Amino acid sequence: MATTLLWFQAGACSGDSMSILGAESPNLLEALETLGVELLWHPSLSLESPEWLDRLIQRIERDEQTLTVLCIEGAVLAGPNGTGMFDSFLGRPKMNVIGSLCEKAGVVVAVGTCSSFGGIPAAHPNPTDAVGLQFLREEREGGLLDPAWKSKLGLPVINLSGCPVH
């Protein structure tokens, strides 16, 4: 079975993507090919439409498509009032999409400080209710996922902090 990777953008500037796309020797696509990783989708590299991505997400949710590695870039925006509608994907709160994908992934990687800890969007007064995947700022609670959450392979979220991630 091939290793698959889906990169999903939450509320952020996409600086982590831009940084990794600037890598050379090897570049991102060469590295993935060398490692035998099939890139299912990336917001800056994939040509497919949002509707195509939605169908892919639905296949993952129905266990028709394996998701080995899920990379989340950007803070999860839970506002207003816990609805997540400050950041949506085809009418669905991205926080719900991310939560659903996390349940299906073998490994979940928070790419950058925003997805790891909420980053600058989570700074007080945090008007968008931005959170990281398992952390809110330095607290191991208040993130999108329960502090005890584990991926399908039994791992917590792997936090690669940095702005941009190195």
Q: Check whether 1 has a pLDDT greater than 70.
A: no
Q: 141 or 19: whose pLDDT is higher? A: 19
For the chain, what is the mean pLDDT? 92
Closest among 147, 142, 13, 149 to 82, alpha carbons compared: 142
What local confidence, expressed as pLDDT, does residue 145 receive? 95
pLDDT digits (tens, 9 = 90+) for 58-93: 999 999 999 999 999 999 999 999 999 999 999 999
Question: Distance between CA 151 and CA 96 in Å, rounded?
Answer: 16
Average pLDDT over residues 94-118: 96
Under 8 Å between Cβ of 114 and 121: yes
Question: Distance between CA 78 and CA 151 in Å, rounded?
Answer: 21
What local confidence, expressed as pLDDT, does residue 81 receive? 93
Average pLDDT over residues 112-139: 91
